[in-house]
Structure 1
Amino acid sequence: MLGVGLLMLGNGLQGSLLGVRAAEESFGNTVTGLVMSAYFVGFLAGSTLTPRKLRDVGHIRVFAALASITSIAILVHVMFIDPWVWAAMRLMTGFAYAGLYVVTESWLNGHASNHLRGRLLAFYMVISYLGMGGGQLLLNVADPSGILLFLIVSILMSLALVPILLSYTPQPDTSQPEAMNLLRLYRLSPLGTLGCLLTGIANGTVFGMGAVFAANHGLETHQIAAFMGAFILGGALFQWPLGKLSDKTDRQWVILIVAALATAFSLAGLLFDQGASHALTLLGVLLGGTTLTLYSLFLACANDVLTPQQTVSASSSLVLALGIGAILGPLSTGLLMDLLGSAGFLWDLALIHALIVVFGGYCLWRYPNQPSDTHGHYVAVPAGTASLGATWVEEAADDPVQLDLELMEADEESSLEEGPASAAEPGRS
């Protein structure tokens, strides 16, 4: 988590830094959108190739290699101020970050039980967004037209290697992964899979063109940093309560409500005047609290129906879906902003989340009986263990060896307290 936090701190800084610097270099909205979209083209390759390397060398080595690539790529940006070079480096950075997400999310899902998955992924996203939010604030440390901010990004990427290389955390077993392509994953979890695609468009829009939108809306550099920081802070603040809520109720309902709120907030932002920095900062908190929380909810929704052997391949496919969508985000927003001005950014977000609402409503109608609390395993236990409760059974079911040991201990305790007849009586919870 510490390594991820440092990586996202650097990623948050470089996203806004490149957007502001591209505007200073007069790249133009469409060209800037193309440059930023190259990041997500690299995402596609990274999400596809990473699982193979995970099987060969393991999670830690892959993480270290990919983080090194990001540290190198940001330095090339400042050496060559050219849209084509920047697009190539953004492609490399996207390749590396896709792999880093696959490593991290497969690692987390490999250890998570269904009734804790939403909260665990929410904590992961909180760390990510706090890192990215802090990165926005680092934009104020130096002039974006200089080289210092580029050097800071490279240092942060390199520092992210230290905690992961020194970690004693056991890696997931990737020796016999089960294939899980997008089509099969969609059949298992249509909302989780298509949702990652659509939220990829929204995330690409926010992180690729958010700073450009703020600059076009009349905000100055420190106000742009405040807007993007507020956006990401909102995502961090709402991750945990929404993740916890989704663990206790139907995740589909939570997703539907959050997407509906994001649509409403995007449309409300169209009413703000040019240069209204305080209003835009407040909007950033509200949009961040809805737009940026959906990815972890879609991840949890999809992983609820998977086995441990499927998590690496499924994480790769979900990151692939995210990358496909994210390619369209900066590109579509750049075109809309050329047609509609800065309002094109908000129209893009509104349309994306309206689609999520429509498809979420379809899934609620088509697959109405999939609350997340029904995904736990059925377990037959002796009657003497009934007092342990359903929560204990769901936790133990995720570890069969531990379950057997605890059932034996509970059975022995039951025999001592209630006698052999009671201990032998079958039952189930």
Structure 2
Amino acid sequence: MFNALYSLWFLFAGIALIMLGNGLQGTLLGVRASLEGFLTIETGMIMSAYYFGFLFGSTLTTRIVKKVGHIRAFAALASIASAMVLVHAVFPYPLAWVFIRIGSGFCFAGIAVVTESWLNHYSTNSIRGRVFSIYMVIQLAGLGAGQFLLNVSDPAGYKLFILISVLVSLAVVPILLTSTAAPLMSGFSKVGIRKLYEISPLGLVGTFGVGIAHGSFLGMGAVYAKMAGFSLEQVAGFMATLIFGGVVLQFPIGRLSDYLDRRTVLTGVTFLAAISALVCNGLSGVSINVFFVFSFLFGGLSLSLYSLCVSHTNDYLEPEQMVMASSSLTFVVGVGACLGPLSVSTMMRWFGPSGFFLYLACIHGAIGVFALYRVYIRKPVPMEDQNPYVPITPRVSHVAAAIIPESLRVEVEKI
């Protein structure tokens, strides 16, 4: 296991730098948009544009990788992403940022495709699930740590844009210096959305709702914090607590779902997330420390939901269906993420900063009600037939989404 991880150090180092820059970029743009006087709905469009680019980039960049190879594709996409970051500072206009964000999303999706297919190729069946679990932790940890870089310089200037560009550019170095041969790219197909709904209505509906929620708070969280009067340090702290909550709570919740009816765990987590969102809404401006505690709890609960939805869906699938179904779920969560920032920004326009957590409470509450309904009308999967919990985030491409569930199932069968 250690030798395998050591041989993949260049990928882990590269993705850590990418996620540091990506984490800072999303929050910086939310803060800078407020400073530039963008309308809330305009900022929502900008944040939705990223997920739109990521959604299509995840699929289309596969062709690029097949044509030019992993190393050239990674270097080209990272270079374009690095340049696009700087263009934000040159053209601080809403429409320009929409197109730039589409391009950024496309590039970061391509980088994810390259990284995940490379990890898949050099991981054996016996350790692939654990390798991708480490990849998920690095992703979330980098995303969370990037929030604190917001305090390095004034967001009204250009230095933070340069810092992001440097981080993304440096991510190419370990990839270019590796002596490990790049793998060949393989394709993945999908199970139709209608078929997936017939197999697992809760898995599909839950995934779509989770996409809306995650797109909302990861895209518009910094805008909410600025509207609520948070200082720059508090904005960074708020976004970091949301993300690190996901790092800490995802695995305990996952383990719990392996021993109980997964639908019951999913229902409980969604309602607890909705309650946490309501508490956060009430605490905003009252007690910042207690607010951060409940933000941590909300982030941990909400960021665990995608994994629960994927794992629940897998409980109703045959092993040969998992790859195709997981790829489709990635598309569904991506569509939800595209809609999230735009819809929550509308709520914030109508209700001010209170609309942020009220909207998130409604989304999680709606998922919980549907989950409760499904628990009532459908018998649970016998515990011995449940597949293992799948630790996964919506920020992975269709490649990891297709690989991880089957890899973990194979590992568990060998125990």
TM-score where L is the length of structure 1: 0.77
Written as runs of structure 1 = structure 2, the 5 A alignment for 1:258-407 is: 258-274=269-285, 276-302=287-313, 305=317, 307=319, 311=323, 314-370=325-381, 373-374=384-385, 398=410
Structure 1 residue runs without a partner (length 5+): 378-393, 404-428
Q: Which digits, 9 at most, give the CA deviation of each residue in 1:25-53, with x for residues without a partner?
A: 11121111111111122133223324444
How far did residue 182 of structure 1 move? 3.0
Give the direction of change, closer, same or farther, for the CA distance of 1:18–1:58 in structure 2 (3 Å limit): same
The residue number in structure 2 matching 1:408 is none
Residue 92 (str. 1) matches residue 103 (str. 2): yes
Q: Distance between the aligned counterparts of 1:35 and 1:60, measured in 2?
A: 30
Residue in structure 1 matching 2:222, options 205, 211, 227: 211
Residue in structure 1 matching 2:94, options 69, 83, 88: 83
**Amino acid aligned to 2:334:** G
Q: Which digits, 9 at most, give the CA deviation of each residue in 1:253-287, with x for residues without a partner?
A: 33222111101101112322536432332222111
Segments of 4+ moved more than 6 angstroms = 106-116, 394-397
Which shifted more, 280-289 or 266-275? 266-275
How far did residue 372 of structure 1 move? 6.9
Give the direction of change, closer, same or farther, for the CA distance of 1:5–1:287 in structure 2 (3 Å limit): same
Q: Distance between the aligned counterparts of 1:328 and 1:125, measured in 2?
A: 24
Tell me how many residue pairs correspond in the alignment: 383
Q: Distance between the aligned counterparts of 1:396 and 1:130, measured in 2?
A: 22
How far did residue 359 of structure 1 move? 2.5
Q: Distance between the aligned counterparts of 1:395 and 1:66, measured in 2?
A: 28
Q: Distance between the aligned counterparts of 1:193 and 1:280, measured in 2?
A: 32
Mark the structure with the bigger radius of gyration.
Answer: 1
Q: Which digits, 9 at most, give the CA deviation of each residue in 1:95-122, with x for residues without a partner?
A: 22334445556677896979995x7665
Q: Distance between the aligned counterparts of 1:366 and 1:100, measured in 2?
A: 42
How far did residue 227 of structure 1 move? 1.1
Q: Distance between the aligned counterparts of 1:300 and 1:167, measured in 2?
A: 36
Q: Distance between the aligned counterparts of 1:182 and 1:109, measured in 2?
A: 25
Give the direction of change, closer, same or farther, for the CA distance of 1:337–1:396 in structure 2 (3 Å limit): closer
Equivalent pair of 2:276/2:295 in contact (CA under 8 Å): no
How far did residue 148 of structure 1 move? 1.4
Q: Distance between the aligned counterparts of 1:397 and 1:208, measured in 2?
A: 33
Written as runs of structure 1 = structure 2, the 5 A alignment for 1:22-421 is: 22-53=33-64, 56=67, 62-102=73-113, 123-164=134-175, 166=178, 168=180, 174=186, 177-274=188-285, 276-302=287-313, 305=317, 307=319, 311=323, 314-370=325-381, 373-374=384-385, 398=410
TM-score where L is the length of structure 2: 0.80
Give the direction of change, closer, same or farther, for the CA distance of 1:324–1:74 in structure 2 (3 Å limit): same
Q: Distance between the aligned counterparts of 1:2 and 1:115, measured in 2?
A: 19
How far did residue 197 of structure 1 move? 1.6
Q: Distance between the aligned counterparts of 1:101 and 1:372, measured in 2?
A: 34
The residue number in structure 1 matching 2:8 is none
Give the direction of change, closer, same or farther, for the CA distance of 1:255–1:130 in structure 2 (3 Å limit): same
Q: Distance between the aligned counterparts of 2:408 and 2:150, measured in 1?
A: 47
Q: CA RMSD in A?
A: 3.5
